[in-house]
Amino acid sequence: MRIFLDTNIFPEFIERRTQYESVCKLLDAIHEGQFEAFLSNGSIYTLAFLFERSLKRQDIHRPALTNRLRGYLLEVLELAKITALSHAEAESAVLDTVFDDIEDSFQYHCALECNSEVLITINIGDFKRADQRQIEILTPTAFADKYIDV
């Protein structure tokens, strides 16, 4: 099964937030080859920024910060393939009035373009008006309950 990971999945894991355990199950299942995971190319830039900010809050600075950041990003890249929007699909995402947040529209359209069957996000409400006939949208917990803890 092809799954698309919203940017917010990885900070949930790194910072051990509310859905940490479900994200762990999800990432373990991807690592074991149960699912083929995708991530937008925009997400990798955002994750670099978010991970660096998190490391700084932990009082970790260069050069250790850079080494840790590289390690985190390499782990992400081992789990998920980077995918991009075509120019035409990016235009569609910008014009998609279903989304109030255009970044969420980019994620949704990127997931469609790489033919993912499920988009996994922490913020399910951001996708409440999206067409789920084309792609199922689930939280990590709902995904784990439906596809991993079977």
Residue 113, domain member (yes or no): yes
Residue range of the domain that includes 105: 2-40+80-148
The reported pLDDT for the residue numbered 73 is: 95
- The CA distance from 28 to 33, in Å, is 9
Domain count, the chain: 1
- The CA distance from 127 to 31, in Å, is 26
Residue 71, domain member (yes or no): no
Residue 57, domain member (yes or no): no
CA 19 to each of CA 25, 26, 57: distance values in angstroms, whole numbers, following the listed order: 10, 11, 21
The reported pLDDT for the residue numbered 14 is: 83
What does each of the 150 residues of the chain score in pLDDT, given as a tens digit?
999 999 999 988 888 888 899 999 999 999 999 999 999 999 999 999 999 998 999 999 999 999 999 999 999 999 999 999 999 999 999 999 999 999 999 999 999 999 999 999 999 999 999 999 999 999 999 999 999 976
Sign for the pseudo-dihedral over CA of 37, 73, 42, 120: positive
Distance of CA 44 to the CA centre of its chain: 9
